[in-house]
Structure 1
Amino acid sequence: MVSVVIPTYNERENLQTLLPQLLYRFAASQTRAEVIVVDDTSPDGTAEVVQYYRRRFPHRLRLLSQPGKMGLGNAYRAGMKNALEHGADYVVQMDADGSHDHKDLARLLSPLAKQQADLVIGSRYVSGGDVQNWSLRRRLMSRSGAAYARTILQSRIHDITSGFRAWDRELLGKTLFTTTRSDGYAFQIEMARRAELAGGRIVELPITFTERRDGVSKLSREIVREAVVTPWKI
């Protein structure tokens, strides 16, 4: 069973595109897969979109509603825990805004199914990886942030801030429930490093990251501050 965990806050328009792409693809291929949307009580009607598709795919879609705006790390912890409790063999992290191509899912899952990896990261910063529709400033911020965290942590992961990942349940359980503390976007950095320290076999595969189609980016000064501080705490 594959569980795709998607955190959301005000992603109504993007989910109207992404959910049918995933759900109809899973149904057509008869893949044992589901989508878990973890919503931070979005005021834009995100939950209503999920419920609409849940009526059509009751066995392939779940909605977890957070009590408030709890942050990315909290959303992922809730969704991943739910996935493991429902018997997921592999758990995928994926953004709701269309920046990750759903067609790359099979490629990320393949090394797990072949038992060649415990964690597969969709990487912008290995050979063949790319970013589209970002300004030069945004590119420099992202690359320097990843390089900063990698240097502080002495990590071998090139794209340690990537949000497109596929986990084997054993490594995920070992990493998720015993060590993580970050509530925001630095959760990505912490999880990747904890996976390294746990001895997980980590593979990076090139992806093309495309800037969101609709809605507003969640990047803020607080997110940047957290990303600067977190590597020193791991």
Structure 2
Amino acid sequence: MAQTLVIIPTYNERENIDPIVARVRASVPTADILVVDDASPDGTGQLADAIAAADSQVHVLHRTKKNGLGAAYLEAFGWGLSRGYDELVQLDSDGSHQPEQLPDLLAAAKTADVVMGSRWVPGGAVQNWPWHRRALSRGGSTYSRLVLRLRQHDVTGGYRVYTAHALERMDLASVESLGYCFQIDMLLTSVRAGLTVVEVPITFVERVLGSSKMSGNIVVEAMIRVTVWGLTGKGARRAIAAAKN
């Protein structure tokens, strides 16, 4: 049986960490969980330690400061690969990614290298978002698809499954984005490595507790970076590099 590691990055998510871990454990009882805490001042890391002390399938990786979502995931990927996990899952800690839908993503990973939970394919949905945030997210995905010539619809979504094979094939050292653009960067790296990428519809639910780290400035900064990638041919360079490997 494949060993699955669900990676949950946290920063000031004390209200959410206990229920999200419980939901993952209920939805995929055989999976292990790695909480990656960026030195949350609200004590999220200490609460995660207490959860791990009571459950051998929960682990905690403490980072010394807030260095960005991408940096947390990249360190967690290294942690999981070094311990022999076959499937590594990205999951938000705020409940927006529903653990109850994870079995569908894992089922798709049996025949794909990368599985993306998608809001913008038939069957996908978003709950409790105002129209302007929906437009911003969908518009960002559409713009990135066109500029980078990607076929996938939800290029900014963060609910994903990467097989160990996929991560080992990818040039993770070339992933330079640590914030919002990280998901686009990882998808571009996956596609240019010749991996099989599929989208599975999900329902994204806006957080109930805590505050979002997202802002309009973050999205604008990401779109500027995507534009630079498109103009400088970053994707083409990766395709050449992948063909040589």
TM-score clears 0.5: yes
Match of 1:75 among 72, 76, 95: 72
Structure-2 residue corresponding to 1:5: 7
Match of 2:178 among 178, 183, 189: 183
Match of 1:18 among 17, 20, 43: 20
2:107 corresponds to 1:110: yes
CA distance in 2 between partners of 1:102 and 1:220 (Å): 25
Tell me, what secondary structure is at the counterpart of 2:195? coil
Structure-1 residue corresponding to 2:88: 91
Match of 1:101 among 98, 102, 115: 98
Tell me, what secondary structure is at the counterpart of 1:158? coil
Deviation digits for residues 140-196 of structure 1 (CA, Å, limit 9, x no counterpart): 100101111111101001000010001111111222533211111211000011101
CA distance in 2 between partners of 1:54 and 1:23 (Å): 12
Give aligned-pair identity as a percent.
41
Whether the 8 Å CA contact 1:93–1:163 is kept in 2: the answer is: yes
CA distance in 1 between partners of 2:45 and 2:64 (Å): 13
Cα drift, residue 49 of structure 1: 1.6
CA distance in 2 between partners of 1:218 and 1:23 (Å): 25
CA distance in 2 between partners of 1:88 and 1:229 (Å): 35
Map 1:1-234 onto structure 2 (within 5 A): 1-27=3-29, 31=30, 33-58=31-56, 60-113=57-110, 116-175=111-170, 177-231=172-226, 232-233=228-229, 234=234
Structure 2 counterpart of 1:50, one-letter code: A
Q: TM-score, normalised by structure 2?
A: 0.89
Q: TM-score, normalised by structure 1?
A: 0.93
Tell me, what secondary structure is at the counterpart of 1:4? strand
Deviation digits for residues 23-74 of structure 1 (CA, Å, limit 9, x no counterpart): 34444xxx2x21111111111110122111101112x111111111100110
CA distance in 2 between partners of 1:5 and 1:22 (Å): 11
How many residue pairs were aligned? 227
What's the Cα RMSD here?
1.3
Structure 1 residues 174 and 222: alpha-carbon distance in aligned structure 2, compared to 1, 3 A threshold: farther
